[in-house]
C-alpha cells in the first residue's frame, strides 16, 4: 500500500509549498524512502540517501494509511506514545499540505 502512495507523490505534488530543498526520510515498517521536496518538484529515492534528513518519520503501516488515506491528523499523544516518531512534526504537517492532504 505504501509503495502505491509513494509512487503517486510526484504526480500530486503542489509546487510552491517548499521553496528550498527539504528532505524527508520515511521508515514505514519495511519500506524506507527518502523524499526531497523543493520549488520545482518532488524526488523519491529508495532507502536513506542523506546523512541527516530535515524530517524523519518512523511509523507503522496502519498509522501511515490512517494519516494519508483517512485524513487522520496525529496529536501529541501519538508522538509521545511512540505511534509516530519524528524529529520535526511541524514539517510533517507541511508535507501533507504539499500533497493536498
Rounded average pLDDT over 19-34 = 96
What CATH number corresponds to the domain at position 30?
3.30.1050.10
- Tell the residue number behind the cell numbers 501519538, with chain if given: 78
The per-residue pLDDT for 26 is: 97
Tell me the mean pLDDT in the region 18-23: 96
Domain that holds residue 20: 2-98
pLDDT digits (tens, 9 = 90+) for 39-94: 999 999 999 999 999 999 999 999 999 999 999 999 999 999 999 999 999 999 99
Total count of domains within the chain: 1
> Residue 3 pLDDT more than 80?
no
Lookup: cell for 83: 505511534
Taking the CA atoms of residue 53, residue 32, residue 8 and residue 17 in that order, the dihedral angle to the nearest 10 degrees is: -10
| pLDDT in the model for residue 2 | 61
Q: What is the 3-state secondary structure (H, E, C) of 22-86?
A: EEEEEEECCEEEEEEECCCCEEEEECCCCCCCCEEEEECHHHHHHHHHHCCCCCHHHHHCCCEEE
Amino acid at each position: 500500500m505504501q509503495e502505491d502512495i509513494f509512487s503517486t507523490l510526484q504526480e500530486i505534488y503542489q509546487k510552491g509549498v517548499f521553496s528550498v530543498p527539504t528532505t524527508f526520510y520515511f521508515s514505514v515498517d519495511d519500506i524506507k524512502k527518502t523524499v526531497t521536496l523543493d520549488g520545482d518538484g518532488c524526488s523519491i529515492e529508495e532507502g536513506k540517501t542523506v546523512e541527516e534528513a530535515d524530517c524523519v518519520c518512523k511509523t507503522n503501516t496502519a498509522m501511515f494509511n490512517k494519516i494519508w488515506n483517512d485524513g487522520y491528523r496525529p496529536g501529541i499523544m501519538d508522538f509521545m506514545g511512540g505511534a509516530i516518531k519524528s524529529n520535526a512534526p511541524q514539517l510533517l504537517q507541511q508535507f501533507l499540505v504539499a500533497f493536498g492532504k
